[in-house]
Structure formats: structure tokens, C-alpha cells
Amino acid sequence: MLNRHDVKYVVIGAFAAIAQQAPIAPTRDIDITPDDTPANLKRLSAALTELDARIRVDSVAAGIAFDHDAASLRRADMWNLICGYGEFDIAFRPTGIEGGYKQLRARARRVAVEGITVVVADLDDVIRSKEAAGRPKDLQVLPALYRHREAR
């Protein structure tokens, strides 16, 4: 859907690592960092509308509907969302990646996932972000990511 709306984004996190053959378990959601230019955010808003994206909350399985446009999307650094395809997060400044989309895009890779071309964060950027986050779930996968990086 994002590609159909010509949204510029980079997939980050576990999915980006898995798309590069890293031997780690998938997470429940897919994380992306979009370009935060007004034109791209307008396209992102249109894609979110078509997806019927909702704010993800534990107490409401289908999520909470929200109105959005380019300006309102950028008012938050992070959106935790859900749609008919599953859970996804939008992070404008992922932990450890202060330059956001532009920094990630400079080293990102194009990969085909189930016939769809997606741009994913370079493995070094995934590792950098997980190291900076320092959450137990991130720290647990770091040894496998280090080994995968060395084996490539």
C-alpha cells in the first residue's frame, strides 16, 4: 500500500534484519521510518486512510480510529498502528538514528519480499538502533545480528 501511494520509507528493526537473511525471530509488527517532507507525509496519510490504520492500544483489539494529515502525522515521533494486515510502527527518529530517514536511506538496501520491492535499513543501522535502545528484546538478538554481519 505504501508503495502504491509512492511513500518514501525505510523498513527498520527486526524485519529489516530478517529481509537480509538474519537468523532472528520475527516480531509482531513491522517498523518503518518515512521521509518527513510534507509531500511524502501527505502520501503517507492517504495510504494510512486506505489501510484504515488505527492507533494500536491493548484495550481495543481493532485499534482506535484517528484523523490525520501530513501536519498531524509529524506532530508525534512515533505512531503505533494496526490495520487489516497487522501491526506496524512509524518512527520518525528511531533510537540511535538521529538523522532519521535521510541517514537510513543513505545506506539502505532494496530487497524483494514476497514479490514486493522494499527499502530496508542496512544491517549496521539495525544493530546501531538496537544497541542504543538497549531493551531486553533488542539485546537478546544482538549476538545473532553480530554473527550474521561477520558471516556476510
Q: What is the DSSP letter of 77?
A: S
Distance between CA atoms of residues 7 and 39, nearest Å: 9
Please indicate, yes or no, if residue 4 is contained in any of the structural domains.
Answer: no
CATH of the domain at 114: 3.30.460
The reported pLDDT for the residue numbered 61 is 93
Domain containing 41: what range?
Answer: 9-151
Instruction: Give a yes or no: residue 45 inside a domain.
Output: yes
Domains held by the chain: number:
1
C-alpha span between 61 and 67 (Å, rounded): 18
Check: CB of residue 118 under 8 Å from CB of residue 110: yes
Cα Rg of the chain, angstroms: 15
pLDDT digits (tens, 9 = 90+) for 13-50: 999 999 999 999 999 999 999 999 999 999 999 999 99
Q: Is residue 1 domain-resident? A: no
Could you tell me if residue 82 is inside a domain? yes
- Per DSSP bridges, beta strands 116-120 and 29-34 are unpaired
Q: Look-up: residue for cell 554481519?
A: 149
Task: Express each pLDDT in 104-138 by its tens digit.
Answer: 999 999 999 889 899 999 999 999 999 999 999 99
